[in-house]
Structure 1
Amino acid sequence: MPDLERLVPLQTEGDRVPLFCVHAVSGSAYSYAGLSRMLGDEQPVYGFEAPGFDNDRTPVRSLPDLADEYTEILRAFRPDGEYRLLGWSLGGLLAYEMAKRLTADGADVSRLIMVDSGLPVVMPLPPERDILIRFVRDMMGLEEVPAELRSLFAGWPADVKPDTVFEAVEESGILPEEFDSYLLSGQYDVFRAHLEGFYAIDVQGRYDGRAVHVMAEQSVAADMQWKRLIPGLREHTVPGTHHSVWTGERLPTLYGIVRDDLYGASGTPGGGEATGGEGSRA
């Protein structure tokens, strides 16, 4: 039976076609809370929350398996009608995989919106120390490794134990107080499982549906070459970094592109083609 608890209701009111947002590498659906508020009371928004994130399930290490499960959940939750998918980072890859599965099953995927999503290449997983640095940096919402984090990891071996790191992180105070070693350990299990899946997936299969990719200006565009798999992809480049496009004065720019793609420039449901945002490229 599909695990419908993976769907988190971010906004349930309204009669527009629901927007389903797929979690990034962290596994949390709440990255999309700000966007959901901006879309307003007429737009239902649901987020996928990963197995193992704030629940008793074992994290899933295969992204194709995760896409299979989420597609099954989506079909059970909404058996008929069109589907609108959005995903940031790893969530964009999962949304793409879901769109392929849905269309192969004869479903109508009317929107696929990817936000700063890398196209993976199969390669070995980095050493544990490097994964842990990336995890803590991600928890801090940063692109670069800050000096205090480099100092914390200095001298630790490549195979350092996660619990050793999390105790030191808690003691250092570089993260908010609620992120204690126990919470970090649970969230790292999910993060690491998804990263393992990202490094292992061989992305194949063309998607011919309507799709938009919003890329952060400070991200590496060469890592996001999706057009060979999505020929009709429309691309937009917006100011900011991988994380900052979701915050503060950057979020309204991202919201505007999502809004226009969902409703057209007029803001009405189902309205025309997506308009070009800042730095738009067709």
Structure 2
Amino acid sequence: MAQLSQRLAGDEHEHEAEVVPVDIFKDGSGTPLCCIHDGFGLSWSYRSLATYHDGPVIGINQVPSAGEAEPDSIAGMAVLYADRIQALYPSGPYQLLGWSIGGVIAHEVAIELRRRGAVVERLILLDPALTPVAAFPTRRSLDKSRIFEKIVAASKSEVPARSRQLVFQRAAELMDEGDGGQRELPLPLEGMLGLMARSLDANTRRLRRHRPGVFDGDAVVFVAVQGEGLGKMLPGFQAKMANEGQMRRWRRNVAGDISSVPVECTHHTMLTEESLKLYGEQLREALDG
């Protein structure tokens, strides 16, 4: 992964200031849903969740605000992100959500907010990944095409199969074509690739060192039960093991009630439009409950 970062980073930290620390996907009243960035450092994948929540929806991105130092651990990230959340919504209550590595960070943010005496009504974990292997189960998860797909998905463009062989310039053309010539990305492509690659490297290191605490509230875990690789050959076995494994791992880190919702998708398709159709109403019920 260090090689990946070196290939993609370009000028270090160029363009990072153009990504805001907190994105507001939906404003309004009610309990805010605070969505923690994924392993690539971006929260844009959560934009579609505004449909499933009546209150405000915000996304925490992995870029520093003025005067913030970069934390060296997930616990440090939790303190920083709790500060950001309370700067917007000082009194709470709050709902926390995260996908993949973001689920692990959201869990720690929930613990930090509770330590401060705040009310966390619900913790929602979307196929949370406590290990790098769980977050990136195949080599393809780490290659350049995967990052291309992530960027194009964020720009609401479809990703044709040939994108796996694209270079930077062709990927930029693809995004222009896919969005009628109106690119929605806030960063130039190479700057974005660099930001995502650095975030990926740093978060993988943090995840390896992380020892999760115990959240004293309730949690719902949405589990992707379709596998990749061997799991495709043994779908029933994969689904059973995925669901049981997630519950076994998280039950000891959640002191309140914890429940799971199996979803017929893979880890990396958890937030696609097709997957959200499968569990969106259950997500709405979890947030309203």
Instruction: Tell me the TM-score normalised to structure 2 length.
Output: 0.67
Letter in 2 for 1:115: L
Equivalent residue for 1:6, pick from 21, 26, 42: 21
Amino acid at match of 2:253: L
Q: Does 1:207 align with 2:220?
A: no
Q: Is the 8 A contact 2:31 2:55 kept in 1?
A: yes
What is the aligned partner in structure 1 of residue 156 from structure 2? none
* 8 A Cα contact 1:51 1:57, kept in partner: no
Give the Cα separation in 1 of the matches to 2:260 and 2:141: 30
1:148/1:8 CA distance change after superposition, 3 Å: closer
Tell me, yes or no, if structure 1 residue 71 matches structure 2 residue 82: yes
Maintained 8 Å contact 2:126/2:270:
no
Does the CA-based 8 Å contact 2:21-2:64 persist in structure 1? no
Cα distance per residue 1:164-203 (max 9 Å; x no partner): xxxx842675994577444322321122111221122122
- 1:183/1:24 CA distance change after superposition, 3 Å: closer
**Which residue of 271, 285, 289 maps to 1:246?**
271
Cα pair 1:52 1:190 within 8 Å, conserved: no
Identify which of 6, 9, 21 aligns with 2:35.
21
Matched letter for residue 33 of structure 2: L
* Displacement of 1:102: 1.2
1:62-111 CA deviation, whole Å, 9 max, x = no partner?
22211110012222221113111111111111111011111122111111
Identity among equivalent positions (%) equals 27
Q: CA RMSD in A?
A: 3.4
Aligned length: 228
Task: State the match for 1:34 in structure 2.
Answer: 48
Higher relative contact order (CA 8 A, sep 6+): 2
1:229 corresponds in structure 2 to 253
> Normalized per residue, which structure has more helix?
2
Provide the rounded CA distance (Å) in 2 between the counterparts of 1:147 and 1:242: 22
Q: C-alpha separation between the residues in 1 aligned to 2:172 and 2:225? A: 27
Task: Name the SS of the counterpart of 1:50 in structure 2.
Answer: coil
**Change in 2 beyond 3 A, CA 1:217/1:131:** closer
Structure 2 Cα separation of the partners of residues 69 and 242 of structure 1: 27
Question: Do the aligned partners of 2:172 and 2:189 also contact (CA within 8 Å) in 1?
Answer: no
Aligned to 2:236: none
CA drift of 1:263 comes to: 1.5
Show structure 1 runs of 5+ residues with no match: 153-167, 265-282
Distance 1:175 1:257 in 2: 38
Gaps of 5+ in 2: 1-19, 151-160, 177-187, 228-240
Asked if the contact 1:245/1:254 (under 8 Å) is kept, the reply is no
Q: Tell me if 1:195 matches 2:204.
A: yes
Give the whole-Å Cα distance in 2 for the aligned partners of 1:230 and 1:175.
Answer: 46
The CA distance in 1 between the partners of 2:140 and 2:58, in whole Å, is 29
Q: Where does residue 267 of structure 1 map in the other structure?
A: none
Gap change, CA 1:57 and 1:206, over 3 Å in 2 = closer
Give the 4+ runs in structure 1 shifted more than 3 A: 55-61, 130-133, 146-149, 171-183
Matches within 5 A, 1:260-279: 260-264=285-289
Deviates most, 19-28 or 242-251: 242-251
CA distance 1:29–1:226, shift in 2 (3 Å): same
Query: 2:86 touches 2:92 (CA, 8 Å); kept in 1?
Result: no
Given that 2:74 and 2:105 are in contact with CA atoms closer than 8 Å, whether structure 1 keeps it comes out as: yes
What is the deviation of 1:57?
A: 7.8
Residue of structure 2 equivalent to 1:280: none
Q: In 2, are the aligned partners of 1:51 and 1:58 still within 8 Å (CA)? A: no
Corresponding position of 2:144: 136
Counterpart of 1:50? Answer: 62
Q: CA deviation at 1:133?
A: 6.0
Does the aligned pair in 1 maintain the 2:163–2:171 contact within 8 Å?
A: no
Kept in 1: contact 2:130–2:207 (CA 8 A): no
